[in-house]
Amino acid sequence: MGNLLGAPVTEKETHRGCTPEGLAWGVSSMQGWRIHMEDAHICQPFLYAEERIAKKGDGGGGGGDGDDNNDDAKMDDEGDGGGEPKKFVKIPVPGHSLFAVYDGHGGSFAAEYSGMNFCRVLARQVKFVKYAKMFREESERKKKEEEEKNGGEED
């Protein structure tokens, strides 16, 4: 295995935090014997979906009730290959977090790409946008029911 150092790099990069709901998290990475760091990770303490904002005459957004084909997965962030940049509206998904570790296994490209792009790709999936909207509506409904229930007891 020619991709090893004579001695391990033991310096660690550590991050920690806490979600708004109180979930404490931490991550630490170390290069070790490899020539380059090959691993990547995601520590996303809050999630949101991104629904495409339709341009005039566009026919609809990315998270509408159309089919489940996700055109955004076929295009870069700048739009349709050279046109205007696409615009998205963020839909928060409270109480949701994402933590992932990507092991490079002899190369860093797949791990780095996944670490940098997974959240964006997930956020723009039609089904995830639908889930975020459904979750938000259900949360608002439950909050309203709870307020009505508590309001009725105080009288």
Q: What pLDDT, in 10s, does the model give residues 95-153?
A: 999 999 999 887 899 999 999 999 999 999 999 999 999 999 999 999 999 999 887 55
Residue 1 scores a pLDDT above 70: no
Q: What is residue 105's predicted lDDT score, i.e. its pLDDT?
A: 81
Most confident of 47-61, 77-91, 114-128: 114-128
Phi and psi (nearest 5°) for 39? Answer: -100, 165
Q: What is residue 65's predicted lDDT score, i.e. its pLDDT?
A: 45
Q: What is residue 104's predicted lDDT score, i.e. its pLDDT?
A: 86
Number of Cβ atoms within 10 Å of the Cβ of 13: 11
Structure tokens at 12: 């660690």
List own/partner pairs for 135-139 with CB under 8 A and 24 or more apart: 135/93, 135/94, 135/96, 136/91, 136/92, 136/93, 139/94
Give the helix, strand, coil percentages of the chain, each rounded to 5.
30, 30, 40
Rounded Cα distance between 12 and 10, Å, is: 6
| Mean pLDDT calculated for residue range 18-30 | 92
How much is the mean pLDDT over the chain? 83
Tell me the Ramachandran region of residue 116: left when phi exceeds 0, alpha when psi lies from -120 to 50, beta otherwise.
Answer: alpha
* DSSP element (H, E) containing 76: none
Structure tokens at 49: 């979906």
Q: What is residue 67's predicted lDDT score, i.e. its pLDDT?
A: 46
For the chain, the structural domain boundaries read 4-154
* DSSP element (H, E) containing 149: helix 126-154
Please, which pLDDT band fits residue 79 given cuts at 50, 70 and 90?
A: very low
Please, which pLDDT band fits residue 155 given cuts at 50, 70 and 90?
A: very low
* DSSP element (H, E) containing 61: none
Structure tokens at 43: 């520590």
- With 0.85 as the threshold, say if the pTM is over it: no
